[in-house]
């Protein structure tokens, strides 16, 4: 059984948003502090990437682990035990869309980085993550 009833479950799900989530804001602030300048919700590229670094011709997608189906093993990516089929299909569709967007952006000559919410939220990991991104960009 799900730990929440139907009403509470939809309430919980509605709070898991895909845009302007806290991890994304944390990452943006950390990038900015390191001197990176970016555009957000850039509409001229497929999938409206969360963070675009025009100078490096690189986009960063910040993926919520639940919505974008992070790997098994990520504690935030569990499929709810009610409506399992619905959620499974939805998340598979999201992953397909992510993949297609990525292929299109790459074919336009841009680099694509995918960062997962759980990578940002790991305590003390943000500096390491920024370092990793900086290394990839330079």
Q: Which two tokens stand for residue 14?
A: 């509605």
Q: Does 67 bind Zn ion (CB under 5 A)?
A: no
Stretch of 3-11, 18-26, 71-79, 126-134 lying at the interface with Zn ion (CB under 5 A): 71-79
Residue from 40, 45, 74, 113 that binds Zn ion (CB under 5 A)? 74
Minimum Å gap between C-beta 119 and Zn ion is 7
Strands 58-63 and 111-116: what pairing? parallel
Give how far Cα 54 sits from Cα of 4, 99, 128, 137, Å: 43, 21, 22, 11
d(CA 105, CA 100): 9
d(CA 88, CA 61): 21
Tell me, by CB under 5 A, how many residues bind Zn ion. Answer: 6
Extended beta strands in the chain, E state: 39-40, 51-53, 58-63, 111-116
Q: Does 70 bind Zn ion (CB under 5 A)?
A: yes
DSSP for residue 123:
T
Minimum Å gap between C-beta 74 and Zn ion is 3
Q: Does 116 bind Zn ion (CB under 5 A)?
A: yes
Minimum Å gap between C-beta 65 and Zn ion is 3
Q: Does 118 bind Zn ion (CB under 5 A)?
A: yes
Q: Does 79 bind Zn ion (CB under 5 A)?
A: no
Binding site residues, Zn ion, CB under 5 A:
65, 70, 74, 76, 116, 118
């Amino acid at each position: 059984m799900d730990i929440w009833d139907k009403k509470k479950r939809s309430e919980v799900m509605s709070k898991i948003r895909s845009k302007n989530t806290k991890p994304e804001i944390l990452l943006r602030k950390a990038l900015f502090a390191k001197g990176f300048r970016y555009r957000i919700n850039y509409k001229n590229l497929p999938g409206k990437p969360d963070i675009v670094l025009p100078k490096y011709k690189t986009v960063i997608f910040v993926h919520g682990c639940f919505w974008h189906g992070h790997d098994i093993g990520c504690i935030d990516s569990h499929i709810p035990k009610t409506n399992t089929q619905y959620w499974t299909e939805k998340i598979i569709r999201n992953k397909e869309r992510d993949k297609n967007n990525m292929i299109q952006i790459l074919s336009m000559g841009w680099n694509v980085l995918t960062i997962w919410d759980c990578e940002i939220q790991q305590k003390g990991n943000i500096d390491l993550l920024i370092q990793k991104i900086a290394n990839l960009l330079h």
